[in-house]
Structure 1
Amino acid sequence: MTVQRLPAAGLTAAPRSMPDGQGRGLRRRTSLPRLALLLALTTALGGCVVVGPDYQKPNLSLPTKWGSGTASKPSKPPELSQWWRRLGDPMLDELVNEAVAGNLDVASAKASIREARASYRQTVGALFPSANGSAGADRGKSGGYVSNQFQAGLDASWELDLFGGNKRAVEAARYGMDAAEEELRATLLTLIGDVATNYVSARGYQARITLAKRTAASQRETAAITRNKFEAGGATAADVATAEGQASSTEAGIPSLEAAYAETVHRLSVLTGRAPSALVDRMKAPKPVPAPRLPIPTGIPADVLTARPDVRLAEAQYASATAKIGQAEAARYPSASLTGNIGTSGAKLGDLGKGSSISWSFGPSLTVPIFNAGQLKAAVEVTQAQRDQSFIAYQAAVLSALEDVENAIVALAQERIRSGKLASAARSYAEANRLASTLFQAGSSSFLDVLTAERSLYSASDARIESRVAIATDYIALNKALGGGWDGAIDSSRPVIVDKRTGPHLARP
């Protein structure tokens, strides 16, 4: 690579004396035509070279279908828009909207976008000239004579982007802005998944608590019947103790379920940006565990490259790291800038605009790195290593996304099979419990058969509720893995903190 030098003919030195001795020793370094020529040449030079590698989208080899799928042809594209609405629970829909509006992680991610956009504008500003004005006034006394002195001036400079270092910085900042936006989308995806998961868990705990209380009450009735039979001589004291112990054992599990339910409600409240107890009253009335409409289309593995915000985030970070190589590479080459200033002074304000009081200068400067003990070359190698790490992180994000989808497909399919078996078991145990109770009351069966049937029915019914929760949770996990997040409008242009009169606090929509 060659560096073009500015022609010496563009610079002249012609001393000119100014009236009243002002501006003595200043030189007009170039005439206006040559000044225009110099500016044109340096501008053309600044736009001809951009060093460093250009970003190219990675070309990854991906499978054509999901390995866990049973279909012989690829599935239809996933339906990710507002996927949580297909759980059929209006309260869940409301909580998702409230979480998007009030969650603190979302507010932080929106502030990060504003920071990235401001950094981008700041970096773009380095491509343009800068100018600074100055003014001053002095009043003094010397030899009994009081005098005034007024000054005004303007300084301007422009760093010519000879080898595209500033352009690469702008490119990196633009990708950084993309990364901040993808970070917000990833935060929203995680948030919606967490809200849905905790809501489903809360409804599951409510159902299990109701089942446990109903079962304990039934077992208390069985214990009372057993005591009556014991008093009538139809049962033993051991039967009475065993019946009461089983009822107490079922009741002992209720506090743990109540605690777990409270934790999920508290988590839901915090996810919406509220105090932990904010949703306690609102969630108090039990509702069924949401049941998704199944099966759902999963598309092809390549879809995750465009649908998953964490994958797009990793790609934007890789692109930004690539641009920073050129930024570091440009620092190894010469840099040029144009500087100029104009100043005027006078004993009165009216003298500032007079030609006799005006002085100015203009000229280019060139800086060439000669010896820096390999620091600049090492800086390039640092950015190259960071680029390599970013590319590896991108590949890891893709593989992790594929793994998430494969795991979610398997988990959902197997849980549906398990749920069907549990439903069949619950029906069988319910019939066994009915028959055992009838035979015991008729004196045709032992009390042990009754206790065993009650215990088995409770376990099967509780497991069935847990399975319904697991199916909904796996459905949520699959939509998250496929990249289903928030696709509505998010305003990240305004500050999230209001600091007027009442002190800093979050702005509420």
Structure 2
Amino acid sequence: MFTIYKTRAAIAASLLLAGCAVGPDYRAPAMPVPDHWDQAHETNPAAQPELPQWWMQLNDPLLAALIDEAVVGNLNVATAAAKIREARATYRQAGGALFPKLTGSASATRSGSGSSAVSTATTSSTGSATSDGTGSTISLGTVGNTFQAGFDASWELDLFGANWRALEAAKYGLDAAQWSLRSTLLTLVGDVASYYVQARGYQARLALARNTVKSQEETARLTRVKFESGASSGLDAANAAGQAQTTRATIPTLQTSYAQAVHSLSVLTGQAPEELMGRMEKPEAVPVPKLPVPVGIPADVLLSRPDVRLAERQYAQYTAKVGQAEAARYPSVSLTGSLSTSGTQIGDLGMRSTIGWSFGPSLSIPLFNAGKLKAAVEIAQAQRDQYFIAYRSAVLTALKDVEDASVALSQETGRIDALQASVTSYQQAAILSHSLYAAGSTGFLDVLTADRSLYSAQDSLIQSRVLVTTDYIALNKALGGGWDGEVDTSKPEVVDTHTGPHLRQAVQ
């Protein structure tokens, strides 16, 4: 009776010890952040940013459709989803170490014994004999079968939390993989929108260049007619033709940039580079955002930015790995047991057979390892520190991104107003210069200067519109706005078939 109580007490003590852990427990770091943005006067600091589906505010159906296609077809998203599946499997694998392990075994053996000797032809009752024709006999001995079956069980009590820390690290790793997917989606949405806006900008600049070339070529034709009639000099005709060709020379460069933007857009959606050329062929205006953009408070960025959340989860993961490495320096206790049965026939197993069993604890104590385990702890601590620094860097980068995008959007919005006024003035100057030149009241140099200035101002205005929308996209990215829908992370990219036993094939 005393032995039973003693055993129960030992089991209870083991279960209590199984709840112990060594190493640091993770605590979310407190990072100091400003109370307000430096550019708050340019926006509405009291309002929360509208981050979910922010691109819908650009009112461009094709852009929205391309973002949907990119989420489904982008290869970086597929890679991030596969990493989530890997992290889930790792988490389940780490959890399995907390439970007992049971292994079954079976064997069948046929054995015999015998000897050869010179003797008279007699046969023992336990064997048989044959004669070789010379009076000698060869004894064949005994032959028999042995069948065995059994189970082996083991359970590591995890007294100091090594397996629990591994499970904790795997859980944080799974969280990190999920935030990595969100970070990938945020980057993807921003890149798709940026390349789309750039492509529309190049289309507008191409249209401007072609229209300007037509106008300048008409001016060159009229100047040449006046020269042929003696009403103007050959210098005017040559300058007019040269200006038209100079403007024409910008078209191939713009076409190249447009094609590259569409190619990049196609690859982001998981398609061949030329797939979107047809869908983008019809020119559309550069999407115009609604301004100003509310940015909330800096502390919101720590919750909405997936790259910041990813860095924080990685810091947590490697904090748990410090405890895992520390636990390896402590003793480990395992409970092991086995049950086996053997017989001369399969039907005898468990009935008319020999049954054996064993049960008991085993203790492993690291006595001397030349500092190897302590060095492993120091390695884990150094890795943890690196991820803590990476988290701090991610926070500062996030704050910087918002400030940069805010000031860029604010300044470019002011610049676009000045460029619009510049275009209006140069349009009036071009009309007047052409009228005065036709009346003979001014030289052709004034016409060239007015036309050149007008084209430059119009081209700069288009580029500024592209920059305003691009800065709007960058600000939403900096605030953490991205895809808020569900992404299927359970479906593998490669579906294996015929994975059961089958004939081997030649290596390809």
Within the alignment, does 1:82 sit opposite 2:57 as a pair?
Answer: no
Q: Distance in 2 between matches of 1:222 and 1:210?
A: 18
In the TM superposition, residue 140 of structure 1 has moved relative to its aligned partner by: 3.8
In the TM superposition, residue 378 of structure 1 has moved relative to its aligned partner by: 1.8
Find the counterpart in structure 2 of residue 291 from structure 1. 288
* One-letter identity of the residue aligned with 2:25: D
Q: Distance in 2 between matches of 1:172 and 1:97?
A: 33
Query: Which residue of 17, 22, 26 maps to 1:55?
Result: 26
Aligned residue for 1:193, secondary structure, equals: helix
Q: Aligned runs of 1:62-77 on 2, under 5 Å?
A: 62-70=33-41, 74-77=45-48
Find the counterpart in structure 2 of residue 200 from structure 1. 197
Q: Distance in 1 between matches of 2:6 and 2:346?
A: 33
Query: Which residue of 262, 266, 287 maps to 1:265?
Result: 262
Post-superposition Cα deviations, 1:20-57, rounded to whole Å, max 9, x if no partner, equal xxxxxxxxxxxx8765554333223222x211111111
Within the alignment, does 1:352 sit opposite 2:353 as a pair?
Answer: no
Query: Which residue of 374, 378, 386 maps to 2:375?
Result: 378
In the TM superposition, residue 477 of structure 1 has moved relative to its aligned partner by: 0.3
* One-letter identity of the residue aligned with 2:30: N
Q: Is the 8 A contact 1:63 1:301 kept in 2?
A: yes
Q: Distance in 2 between matches of 1:485 and 1:228?
A: 59
Post-superposition Cα deviations, 1:144-201, rounded to whole Å, max 9, x if no partner, equal 6542221101001001110111111111110000110111111111111010000000
Q: Is the 8 A contact 2:43 2:295 kept in 1?
A: no
Aligned residue for 2:40, secondary structure, equals: coil
Aligned residue for 1:497, secondary structure, equals: coil
Q: Distance in 1 between matches of 2:368 and 2:379?
A: 19
Q: Is the 8 A contact 1:266 1:276 kept in 2?
A: yes
Q: Is the 8 A contact 1:351 1:357 kept in 2?
A: no
Query: Which residue of 407, 410, 415 maps to 1:413?
Result: 410
Q: Distance in 2 between matches of 1:248 and 1:422?
A: 25
Find the counterpart in structure 2 of residue 106 from structure 1. 77
Post-superposition Cα deviations, 1:121-145, rounded to whole Å, max 9, x if no partner, equal 0001000000110112123444365
Q: Aligned runs of 1:283-432 on 2, under 5 Å?
A: 283-354=280-351, 356-432=353-429
Aligned residue for 2:144, secondary structure, equals: strand
TM-score by length of structure 2 reads 0.90
Q: Is the 8 A contact 2:44 2:292 kept in 1?
A: no
Q: Distance in 1 between matches of 2:94 and 2:475?
A: 40
Aligned residue for 1:376, secondary structure, equals: helix
Post-superposition Cα deviations, 1:285-325, rounded to whole Å, max 9, x if no partner, equal 11100111111110111011000000000000111111111
* One-letter identity of the residue aligned with 1:74: P
Find the counterpart in structure 2 of residue 136 from structure 1. 107
Aligned residue for 1:240, secondary structure, equals: helix
Structure 1 vs Structure 2: percent identity of aligned residues? 60
Find the counterpart in structure 2 of residue 433 from structure 1. 430
TM-score by length of structure 1 reads 0.90
Q: Is the 8 A contact 1:226 1:240 kept in 2?
A: yes
Find the counterpart in structure 1 of residue 210 from structure 2. 213
Q: Is the 8 A contact 2:161 2:324 kept in 1?
A: yes
Q: Over aligned residue pairs, what C-alpha RMSD do you find?
A: 1.6
Query: Which residue of 14, 17, 20 maps to 1:42?
Result: 14
In the TM superposition, residue 72 of structure 1 has moved relative to its aligned partner by: 9.8
Query: Which residue of 183, 186, 190 maps to 2:183?
Result: 186
* One-letter identity of the residue aligned with 1:134: S
Find the counterpart in structure 2 of residue 5 from structure 1. none
Q: Distance in 2 between matches of 1:42 and 1:150?
A: 37
In the TM superposition, residue 391 of structure 1 has moved relative to its aligned partner by: 1.0
Q: Is the 8 A contact 2:107 2:149 kept in 1?
A: yes
Aligned residue for 1:139, secondary structure, equals: strand
Within the alignment, does 1:255 sit opposite 2:252 as a pair?
Answer: yes
Q: Distance in 2 between matches of 1:40 and 1:135?
A: 34
Q: Aligned runs of 1:468-483 on 2, under 5 Å?
A: 468-483=465-480
Deviates more, 1:142-151 or 1:477-486: 142-151
Q: Is the 8 A contact 2:44 2:294 kept in 1?
A: no
Within the alignment, does 1:238 sit opposite 2:209 as a pair?
Answer: no
Find the counterpart in structure 2 of residue 28 from structure 1. none
Find the counterpart in structure 1 of residue 117 from structure 2. none
Q: Distance in 2 between matches of 1:500 and 1:378?
A: 45
In the TM superposition, residue 370 of structure 1 has moved relative to its aligned partner by: 1.2
What is the aligned length? 471
Q: Is the 8 A contact 1:226 1:243 kept in 2?
A: yes
* One-letter identity of the residue aligned with 2:17: L
* One-letter identity of the residue aligned with 1:282: R
Aligned residue for 2:92, secondary structure, equals: helix
Q: Distance in 1 between matches of 2:44 and 2:423?
A: 36
Query: Which residue of 118, 127, 131 maps to 2:98?
Result: 127
Q: Distance in 2 between matches of 1:75 and 1:235?
A: 65
Find the counterpart in structure 2 of residue 454 from structure 1. 451
Q: Is the 8 A contact 1:64 1:74 kept in 2?
A: no
Q: Distance in 2 between matches of 1:319 and 1:126?
A: 21
* 1:447 to 1:86, Cα distance in 2 relative to 1, 3 A: same
Find the counterpart in structure 1 of residue 157 from structure 2. 160
Deviates more, 1:100-109 or 1:382-391: 382-391
Deviates more, 1:404-413 or 1:323-332: 323-332
Q: Aligned runs of 1:270-285 on 2, under 5 Å?
A: 270-285=267-282
Post-superposition Cα deviations, 1:53-96, rounded to whole Å, max 9, x if no partner, equal 11111111111100122169833111100011111110000000
* One-letter identity of the residue aligned with 2:33: L
Q: Is the 8 A contact 1:335 1:367 kept in 2?
A: yes
Find the counterpart in structure 1 of residue 120 from structure 2. none
* 1:255 to 1:176, Cα distance in 2 relative to 1, 3 A: same
Find the counterpart in structure 2 of residue 465 from structure 1. 462
Find the counterpart in structure 2 of residue 93 from structure 1. 64
Q: Distance in 2 between matches of 1:298 and 1:499?
A: 47
Find the counterpart in structure 2 of residue 25 from structure 1. none
Aligned residue for 1:493, secondary structure, equals: coil
Q: Distance in 1 between matches of 2:369 and 2:223?
A: 95
Q: Is the 8 A contact 1:52 1:329 kept in 2?
A: yes
Find the counterpart in structure 2 of residue 177 from structure 1. 174
Post-superposition Cα deviations, 1:176-235, rounded to whole Å, max 9, x if no partner, equal 001101111111111110100000000000000000000000000000110111112211
